[in-house]
Chain A
Amino acid sequence: MGEDRLDVIRGTLEYLVLETLRGRGEMHGFEILEWIRETTRDALVIEEGALYPALHRMKRRGWLDAEWGISDKGRRAKYYRLTETGRSALSDEEATWDRYVRAVERLRARGAES
């Protein structure tokens, strides 16, 4: 996997995470991943391990908050939540993300055709 493509994917992934968390309160990593997978109907194949560095980077930027808690299965899990900074980052850079959104739409469309 070349660096350029990874960057694209990483950026996309971050956007997807922000979108996912918008209005959905706290989610742990697995939930986020499954949500994206289900919503994009498996069109976007994410290497599962890549999600976590992305989450941590976003947390460091102040876009996300994280907190350890107990999942409904009684496991300890780390929950992520969108912060105000994350919310405004999302809307501020909406235009920048448009390109990716369209790409994702195309991907989704293609995914629906197959």
Chain B
Amino acid sequence: MARDPRGRSRHGTPLPPDPEREAEWEIGHHIEERVDRLVEEGWTREEARREAVRRFGDAGRVRSELARMGRNDEGRRRMTGWLEGTVQDVAYALRGIRRSPGFAATVCLTLGVGIGAAAAIFAVVDAVLLRPLPYDRPEEIVEVSLVRGSTDMTMPFLLADQLDAFRESADFLQSSAYGLVVDRTRTDGPTPEELRFLAASPDLDDLLGIQALVGRTLGADDAAPGAARRIVLGHAYWRRLGADPDVVGRTLRLDDEAWTVVGVLPRHSKFPVAGSEPAGWIPIASDRTVAGEPLQWMQVVGRLAPGIDLDRAQERADRLAAALDETRPHPAGWRVRLARITEWRGDDDVRHALWLLAGAVGLMLSIALANGANLLLLRARVRRRELAVRRAVGASRARLLAQALVESLVLALFGGGVAAAAATGLIHGVGEALPADLSWATVYTPGLGPRSLLFLFGTATVAGLVVGLPASLWTAGRRAARVAEDVRDAGARQSVRSAFAVGSLALSVTLVAGAGLFARSFQELVRVDPGFDADSLALVHLVPTERVYPTPEARGAFLRRVVEEIGSVHGVRAVTVTEGFPPAAYVSLASGVQAEHADPVGALAVPFMTIAPGSEAVLGIEIADGRPFRAGDAERGAAIVDRDFARTLFGEGSAVGRRFRMSADASWREVVGVVEELKLTGIDDRETPLALVNPAADRGLTRPSVTVVARTGGTPDALLPALRAAVQRVDPRQPIGQLTTGTDALAESIARPRFLLLVMSVLAAVATLLAVVGVYGVVSHTVSQRRREMGIRMAVGASRTKVRRSVLSRGAALAAGGALLGALAALSLSHLADGLLFGVGARDPASILTGAAAIFATAVLACWIPARRATRVDPVDVLRSE
């Protein structure tokens, strides 16, 4: 039943536009019927009419009474009929889209690109920072770190012989559990595989609130010393094994021991937060051993006791430390620091970078909204006659406002569809480019999940309202009588549209300037000399299995065979072995570095690597002063240091021959060589400029993980499979950790700046495109409005150039305004990038000026098209059409 008086009845009768009209119609019908009847009875039509009106009574009073009731009814109907009205509005909007698909597509694309990019960045920010960690009340869970000596350095573990005493006395924790990430080699696969496991106390899953997806989690029985080897698979590894639901009871061979699978962990159960997801959890026995091997230390987490916040817990931990120092002194001390595990999510730099990107996306989104609003305003103007007619037949302002808003909402939701597609693509691309340190820091993989979709369509809805508002207000605010009188109004609106265009340009200047800033920073980074020649190096990371090569001699022999075998690969020129190849150098937290005959310089973080003799030549390390390593240097305590290290310890002057030690109880070492600079922890590292190179002992390297470095003739990528084969020829059971090239390894250390640069560039490009399209729209609209004026001017002799110049100057004025505002905005926003830049200041005038100039030039260029069109106006045509 169609009750809306402004639609059509089901009989197809046009319905009265408003209650007054309806009352008139109804009364009019009655009078006419009465007149007919009277005429039938013999009255003349004129007399009949008078009589009919007389009999009806006070028609005016009845009419206003009906109208009043009708208006009240309408109020009620507006509530109940809201849905019906909305359905009609949506249908109207859809008809509009069908009528002008080009316009609709432009709006949808404009909003879709903006919202899609916003959703993609949201997905990343959400995964890394926002979405609560997948544990039970994660904000109550704290990590216990040991504070070292008098320094403020903390290490995220307790020593094994401290654990019981700590757990017994830490009454500020309701419960605690511990674990440690350990590596094991799976030996029953097609090739040996190095896997990461979490050795966990059997109560860790309870503390975290993790329940098994299949089977069960670890229990107390599994932790009995000498218990059968049992394992709970991680979700990702279980999937890799084929996601077999009947996996319980299957065995895996780890380091040649059979482990029985008892369960599978659910998705998003990665623990700890940082690092790759463990392939599985294995029990730490109650005697602190894993598969019989004693643990030296473990990571301890606890849940705060009810009613105790972090500060109070820390106070009580400090008091506990003092008490334990009295009663049970321990060489490592008892001072601990408590930190929420939610702090594990990314470091300050990650947070800074992500919030910066979120802000940049916000700017881009504003541009998309301004453009959308401009397009709808333009369309409202095109439709002004239709609207005027609808107002004249009685459509209320509220009605037109609602309809215009519904229309922009429908467009925005279609835009949301475009956005979902764009976001999927972007998240995929962003995910690929996501630096390892970002993906490591999160439990979740960024994706278009329910939270991102909610954000996406929520943003689309808000965008629909915001974008539609200016046009709706204009539409609803127009009086019906002002159909023809459009000029003054158009002027006001034109200035609104110009303001939007200038604003968009200004915002895109800030984004282009930002992208420029990161581009310059990245350029600086790429230019940084790492101190060795990474080009044409191929790297093989190996962890020689301890079981197969238990002694340093056996490992040494194995590595020598690997070096020999790789050296014989065609295309390899030289081979050596190192530990801590950059950028993954080891870092020594030395408490009292000291030069001979001098006071200790205090605690220092010293990155170091260890190289076999002859490595300097293979790596391309240039010794600036002194000599390279030679046999016996390890036993002699020789060291090669960089200029910074030398200067820190010995001041100016040659350091060669001078001695130093890392701490009071370490032995003295002698500097035999000095290099200018060696970027051991990555080329973007500004914090730790020191570098120390240790000589490998003659009998071989001692750390579990080594890197075999091969200098190739120039195509290291192509040689990687041959290198793998070479290692397997020496020992087919030896897992290969990572095969990569020197260039890629270094690039990893600049993955974050590259990621920032990539995303900022995409945002800047999209923003520029949107803003320029916006300016083009405004200028070309001006041209079409001024056709008559231009026609006349050309008719009275103005040259084409002059007309063109007048159009271009309009565009140039907008562009100049945008560029100027943008430069100022960029200047005031630039400090946000502080700390994320390398070798370039945040207030880099070149980036800002380039951004402003680029936007100015592009915008003026975009006006060239309407300017040319303006001069093609035929005066006669124009004047005739008026």
Contact = CB atoms under 8 A, between A and B. Distances in A.
A76 B29 CA distance: 7
B13 A30 contact: no
A96 to B, nearest CB: 24
A30 B30 contact: yes
Interface in A29-87: 29-30, 33-34, 47-50, 52-53, 56-57, 59-60, 65, 67-71, 73, 75-78
Given A69-B11, A70-B13, A76-B13, A47 B70 contact: no
A65 to B, nearest CB: 7
B34 A48 contact: yes
Given A30-B33, A56-B66, A68-B15, A50 B27 contact: no
A77 B29 CA distance: 6
Contacts of A70: 11, 13
Contacts of A29: 26, 29-30
Contacts of A59: 73
A50 B34 CA distance: 15
- Judged by DSSP, the binding face of B is helix
Interface string B12-23: 011110000011
B13 A56 contact: no
Contacts of B1: 65, 67
B27 A68 contact: no
A69 B27 contact: no
A48 B56 contact: yes
Interface string B57-74: 111011001100110110
Contacts of A75: 29, 32-33
A78 B5 CA distance: 12
A22 interface: no
A53 B59 CA distance: 11
Interface of A: 28-30, 33-34, 47-50, 52-53, 56-57, 59-60, 65, 67-71, 73, 75-78
A33 to B, nearest CB: 8
B29 A56 contact: no
B240 interface: no
A48 B29 contact: no
Given A52-B23, A56-B69, 9 more contacts: A30-B29, A30-B33, A49-B56, A67-B9, A67-B11, A68-B9, A68-B13, A71-B29, A76-B29
Interface in B332-380: none
Contact of A53 (B13, B34, B62): B62
Nearest to B11: A69
Contacts of A30: 29-30, 33-34
A75 B72 CA distance: 27
B36 interface: yes
Nearest to B58: A49
B383 interface: no
A52 B62 contact: yes
B9 A69 contact: yes
Most buried by B among A53, A60, A68, A71: A68
Interface string B21-44: 011011101101110110000000
Nearest to B37: A34
Given A49-B58, A69-B13, A70-B13, A78 B29 contact: yes
Interface in B68-125: 69-70, 72-73
Nearest to B65: A53
B55 interface: yes
B10 interface: yes
Contacts of B65: 53
A53 B69 contact: yes
A49 B59 contact: yes
A67 B25 CA distance: 13
23 contacts: A28-B29, A30-B33, A30-B34, A48-B55, A49-B59, A49-B61, A50-B57, A52-B66, A53-B69, A56-B66, A56-B70, A56-B73, A60-B69, A60-B72, A60-B73, A65-B1, A67-B11, A68-B11, A69-B9, A69-B13, A70-B11, A78-B25, A78-B26
Nearest to A51: B30
Contacts of A68: 9, 11, 13, 15-16, 25
Contacts of A56: 66, 69-70, 73
Contacts of B69: 53, 56-57, 60
Contacts of A50: 57, 62
